């Protein structure tokens, strides 16, 4: 069959890498793709947010199945337009993608259906928000206060304020200062949850759910979890903190109730449901939902997946997950994100990257491209997060050693990475 992947990041390179290995895939197109994706798929210069252009491309190339990588086109209704054109798609409708597109929608859904999450309220006006922060400050007793832009803000719309004044300033910045544009025209203010974060993924066909494996990522830009939040600087799977008992609770208390709730609300979810979790002393709680694979978590999931990915993605579109199963490598997969100097605020573009062939020759390593482009024979940085150096090995220690050996083979003075990926997995547990 003819398959098209939408997107241009490391997540989409990992998806294309996995899909291209399927005997079901006769032809693979990626729009717009990147320098690495071009090695396994035909890249077509149609922007990932150009819904009309993407539908036209799928029709013109007689595409049988579209796999949507990023959230923006899903929230904008790409899946709906493809279905209207008679083309199968992996990814939720715009109505179902509100789980990621509106944090307020998701929080209200959790409240209505009893899904565990942080205490919160929603606001569009600064005075009411300030009064709530002052009132809750007495309840939360000096703990940080979390302020979130309601809409999509490229993973940067969450402020963890250390006190009431900082929370009020962040709220005003979003609501009155237009910091995140329309995404910040409404805010969610919620309690700070303590615990360990984890990423949990499940395939959904509107009714049936197939849990995948868990992962942990690293949001902060610097070693030791310092500096601003990013889209993610590295990830590994499995995540030791997500025990079988925790995974069962996540399914029973969070994922399955959400899938039932979305069906009851008239917006059944089809695609991959990515739950950002906080593993608190009282059990797992939902931080937020994403309506697509995580980036860079997708890279470690695709490395660990033994089964053909295409039938599983098709089953989501066809409502056929009820008796589906997937097989996974028991080994650990770990990815290190190499980013351009200046990321996340002002990444340096256009610098040349050498040594990729040497990096890819390290045992167990696959190099996924994110923000790259070709200039003749040269590979240039073309974004903030640029490469995902991904390794698989029997242990997390060996996976990390291999990944950093490959990182050190890359000749790119203008790039940087965290050197402590998987520190939680390697830390002694009490």
Task: Kindly list the domain boundaries of the chain, sorted by start residue.
Answer: 2-96, 119-191, 196-318, 332-426
237 pLDDT exceeds 60? yes
Q: CA separation (Å) from 427 to 99, 135, 222, 259, 421?
A: 33, 38, 18, 35, 11
249 pLDDT exceeds 60? yes
pLDDT band at 427 (very low <50, low <70, confident <90, very high): confident
Mean pLDDT of 95-106: 98
Q: What pLDDT is recorded for position 264?
A: 98
Backbone angles phi, psi at 256, to 5 degrees: -60, -45
Rounded Cα gap, residues 81 and 9, in angstroms: 23
Question: CA angle 40-45-49, nearest 5°?
Answer: 105
Beta-bridge partner residues of 411: 354
Q: What pLDDT is recorded for position 154?
A: 76
429 pLDDT exceeds 80? no
Q: What pLDDT is recorded for position 100?
A: 97
pLDDT band at 364 (very low <50, low <70, confident <90, very high): very high
Mean pLDDT of 299-308: 98
The token pair at 186 is: 């409404």
Q: At what angle do helices 103-113 and 256-264 cross, to 10 degrees?
A: 100
Query: Is omega for the bond preceding 32 within 30 degrees of 0, making it cis?
Result: yes
Q: CA separation (Å) from 418 to 103, 220, 227?
A: 29, 9, 12
> Which of 373, 355, 317, 295 shows the shortest CA–CA distance to 100?
295
196-318 adopts what CATH topology?
Answer: D-amino Acid Aminotransferase; Chain A, domain 1 (3.30.470)
Rounded Cα gap, residues 339 and 385, in angstroms: 4
SS3 158: strand
Residue whose token pair is 């959230």: 71
Q: What pLDDT is recorded for position 108?
A: 98
332-426 adopts what CATH topology?
Answer: 3.90.600
pLDDT band at 430 (very low <50, low <70, confident <90, very high): low
CATH 3.30.1490.20 fits 119-191, yes or no: yes
- For 184-209, the pLDDT digits (tens) are 899 999 999 999 999 999 999 999 99
The token pair at 408 is: 């050190």
Average per-residue pLDDT in the chain? 96
* Contact yes or no for 237/215 (Cβ under 8 A): yes
329 pLDDT exceeds 60? yes
pLDDT band at 270 (very low <50, low <70, confident <90, very high): very high
Give the N- to C-terminal CA distance of the chain in Å, as an integer: 51
- For 372-386, the pLDDT digits (tens) are 999 999 999 999 999
Rounded Cα gap, residues 174 and 259, in angstroms: 31
pLDDT band at 323 (very low <50, low <70, confident <90, very high): confident
Q: What pLDDT is recorded for position 251?
A: 98
Mean pLDDT of 257-280: 98
Q: Same CATH fold, 332-426 and 2-96?
A: no
Q: What pLDDT is recorded for position 156?
A: 77
Q: Which helix (H) or strand (E) holds 381?
A: strand 378-381
2-96 CATH pick, 3.30.70.100, 3.30.1300.10, 3.20.20.80, 3.40.50.20: 3.40.50.20
């Amino acid at each position: 069959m003819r398959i098209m992947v939408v997107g241009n990041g490391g997540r989409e390179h990992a998806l294309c890498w996995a899909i291209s290995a399927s005997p079901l895939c006769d032809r693979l197109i990626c729009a717009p793709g990147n320098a690495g994706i071009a090695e396994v798929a035909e890249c077509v210069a149609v922007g990932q947010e150009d819904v009309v252009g993407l539908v036209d491309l799928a029709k013109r190339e007689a595409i049988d199945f579209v796999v949507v990588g990023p959230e923006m086109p899903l929230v904008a209704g790409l899946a709906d337009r493809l279905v209207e054109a008679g083309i199968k798609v992996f990814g939720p409708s715009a109505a179902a993608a509100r789980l990621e597109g509106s944090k307020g929608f998701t929080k209200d859904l959790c409240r209505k259906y009893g899904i565990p999450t942080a205490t919160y309220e929603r606001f569009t006006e600064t005075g009411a928000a300030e009064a709530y922060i002052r009132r809750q400050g007495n309840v939360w007793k000096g703990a940080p206060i979390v302020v979130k832009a309601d809409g999509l803000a490229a993973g940067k719309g969450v402020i963890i304020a250390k006190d009431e004044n900082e929370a009020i300033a962040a709220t005003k910045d979003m609501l009155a200062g237009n910091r995140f544009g329309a995404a910040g025209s409404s805010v969610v203010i919620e309690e700070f949850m303590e615990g360990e974060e984890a990423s949990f993924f499940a395939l959904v066909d509107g009714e049936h759910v197939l849990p995948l494996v868990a992962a942990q990522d690293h949001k902060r830009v610097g070693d030791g979890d310092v500096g601003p939040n990013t889209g993610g600087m590295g990830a590994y799977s499995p995540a030791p903190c997500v025990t079988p008992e925790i995974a069962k609770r996540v399914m029973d208390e969070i994922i399955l109730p959400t899938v039932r709730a979305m069906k009851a609300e008239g917006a059944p979810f089809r695609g991959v449901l990515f739950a950002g979790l906080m593993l608190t002393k009282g059990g797992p709680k939902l931080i937020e939902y994403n309506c697509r694979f995580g980036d860079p978590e997708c890279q470690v999931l695709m490395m660990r997946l033994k089964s053909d990915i295409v039938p599983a993605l098709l089953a989501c579109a066809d409502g056929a997950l009820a008796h589906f199963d997937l097989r996974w490598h028991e080994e650990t997969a770990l990815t290190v994100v190499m980013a351009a100097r200046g990321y996340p605020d002002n990444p340096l573009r256009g610098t040349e990257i050498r040594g990729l062939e040497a990096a890819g020759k390290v045992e167990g390593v696959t190099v996924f491209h994110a923000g790259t482009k070709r200039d003749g024979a040269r590979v240039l940085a073309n974004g903030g997060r640029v490469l995902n150096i991904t390794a698989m090995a029997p242990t997390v220690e060996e996976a990390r050693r291999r990944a950093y050996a490959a990182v050190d083979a890359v000749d790119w003075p203008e790039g940087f990475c965290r050197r402590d990926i998987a520190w939680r997995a390697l830390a002694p547990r009490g």
